[in-house]
Structure 1
Amino acid sequence: MGRIIENLNLSEQVTNELGRAIVAGEYSCESGLPTEAQLCEEYGISRTAVREAVKMLAAKGLISSRPRQGISVEQPSNWNLYDTSVLKWLLSSSPSLYVLKEFLQMRLAIEPEAAALAAEFGRDEDIDQIGKAVEAMKAAANDPSGSMHDADLAFHTSILFASGNRFFSHLRDFISTALNVSIQHTTPAKANDLAVADDHAKIYTAIRNRQPERARNLMKYLIDEAKTFIELEIKKQG
């Protein structure tokens, strides 16, 4: 606790620390949180700053604060998993592979359809952005010191945008947050960056050629392959 995070004000730092601790199970429904006075003393900040942190955590569904009842830690089922901070804390906690499995299951329900919509209705200029991401992935794959990470993120978020579906587009930050961790697990498993880039290029080609069903199936295969790897890793961990 008490770790300093640059570019965050005091309330945000406390929010980050307490959020991580709640998600990691250091505080639970049974144990509750320290009192305002205890938090003020621990972090060396004012009650105003602590109360602001409490409001932030309550907005994320991690805690609730009621008059004369104090601060209560909420059940995990009440946490706002679409909040990118909550997702980051979950992914940095010990059961992150289980979170990634659930995340990949959700992606299977969304991204294949987004790819199909992009192929059928996507504007040429939006599809161009997918192509640029693929080219960046290929360039990184051919560079021994390169990383495809950012280009891979751009590829998936560009497809969400190209789908033309505003609900999908608004998932871009959420998808990016989890992909930041997911890619680190699944890309090395293939042990061939060129093959990874080629798999993404096939999806782009199907979208560019206006082949919705092929784009849908290729994206489904890509995500299902990653999900299978994560499931194998979970089995290895027992």
Structure 2
Amino acid sequence: MARLENLNLSQRVTNELGKAIVAGKYNINTGLPTEAQLCDMYGISRTAIREAVKMLAAKGLISSRPRQGIRVESPSNWNLYDTSVLNWMLESGPSLQVLKEFLQVRLAIEPQAAALAAQYGKDEDIANIAAALEDMRKAAKTPNQTLHESDLAFHTSILQASGNRFFFHLRDFINTALGVSIQHTTPAKGSDVSVAEDHAVIYDAIAARQPEVARKQMNALIEEAMAVIENELNSKLEA
């Protein structure tokens, strides 16, 4: 029971310190408080603090070495594929630049995943894409409902249908950042029905076993989202 209690406390401290590091409160220049100071700040044992330090080190936010103490790492060393790190980055004020970089990653992955799904996808996997699309269409026509969950399910189902385990392993990363970028790109479309139908053309190409068409349609969908983010970035620069 004591071990579980320490772990829960460690997770809370990991979350709070992680957010503080990502937000810039603690950085390479300021460093982190000492182990003793952290114990006082959070009112917990050294054991719980050390667990939190291990978790943050595993995410690349800090390093801890004998005689050197705890050192905050530069953002270039952070594990951006860790969903906690990505969540902290997005929660600290979703940076349009971060979203742009995320869309660039999607452009490198999802069109190919769509093509592979069309070429090699199992019938049951393609049925899952169809089910997610149907949920999108229903949500689009239902007052006070959003496409959020069904949109995420649509993209995750394509990663699954691709048959590429490396692509599917990125599903949590894709879902985390996609959930934020949707908030910027869906309103720009002006109609949830239009958003659902843009996804429908991707599904149609996959179901028809047309890899190049599926690739092209997914590429167009993400490029449109990229244009929205770039317009917002340009507007901020001009303001």
Counterpart of 1:198? 197
CA distance in 2, matches of 1:191, 1:13: 39
CA distance in 1, matches of 2:182, 2:153: 12
Partner of 1:96: 95
Q: How does 1:12-161 map to 2 (within 5 A)?
A: 12-94=11-93, 96-161=95-160
Structure 1 residues 6-27: Cα deviation after superposition (integer angstroms, max 9, x where no partner): xx81100100011111111111
In structure 1, what is the Cα distance between the partners aligned to 2:94 and 2:27?
16
Which consecutive unaligned segments of at least 5 residues does structure 2 have? 1-6
Counterpart CA distance in 2 for 1:153 and 1:204 is: 14
The one-letter amino acid paired with 1:104 is: L
Alignment partners' CA distance in 2, 1:199 and 1:60: 36
1:213 aligns with 2:212: yes
Structure 2: how far apart are the matches of 1:33 and 1:82?
Answer: 23
Q: Which residue of structure 1 lines up, in the alignment, with residue 225 of structure 2?
A: 226
Measured in 2, the distance between the counterparts of 1:104 and 1:232 equals 14
Displacement of 1:144: 1.4
Alignment of 1:180-195 (within 5 A): 180-195=179-194
Cα displacement (A) at 1:93:
2.0
Quote the Cα distance in structure 2 between the aligned partners of 1:61 and 1:168: 22
Deviation at 1:97, TM superposition (A): 1.2
Relative to the length of structure 1, the TM-score reads 0.95
* TM superposition shift of 1:181: 0.8
Structure 2 distance, partners of 1:134, 1:12, is 36
Amino acid across the alignment from 2:101: E
The Cα of 1:180 is off from its aligned counterpart by 1.2
Cα distance in 1 for partners of 2:96, 2:13 equals 26
Secondary structure at the residue paired with 1:153? helix
TM-fit CA distance, 1:189: 1.1
Deviation of 1:141 after TM superposition, in Å, equals 0.5
Q: How far, CA to CA, are the matches of 1:57 and 1:212 in structure 2?
A: 41
Mean Cα deviation higher: 100-109 or 227-236: 227-236
Aligned partner of residue 143 in structure 2, secondary structure: coil
Displacement after TM superposition at 1:185 (Å): 1.3
Partner SS, residue 9 of structure 1: helix
Distance 2:231 2:43 in 1: 45
User: Structure 1: 5+ residue runs without aligned partners?
Assistant: 1-7
Question: Over aligned residues, Cα RMSD in angstroms?
Answer: 0.9
Aligned-partner residue type, residue 236 of structure 1? S
Matched letter for residue 162 of structure 1: A
Q: What residue in structure 2 maps to residue 4 of structure 1? A: none
Give the match for residue 175 of structure 1: 174
Percent sequence identity over matched residues?
Answer: 71
Matched position secondary structure for 1:27: coil
Q: Once the 2 structures are TM-superposed, how far is the Cα of residue 94 of structure 1 from its aligned partner?
A: 3.1
One-letter amino acid matched to 2:24:
G
Partner AA of 1:85 in structure 2:
S
Q: Secondary structure of 2:220's match?
A: helix
Q: AA paired with 1:133?
A: A
Query: What are the superposed Cα offsets for residues 8-59 of structure 1, whole Å, 9 maximum, x if unpaired?
Result: 8110010001111111111110110001111111111111110100000000
Structure 1 Cα separation of the partners of residues 69 and 236 of structure 2:
39
Question: Greater helix share, 1 or 2?
Answer: 2
Alpha-carbon distance, 1:95 to partner: 5.3
CA distance in 2, matches of 1:16, 1:91: 14
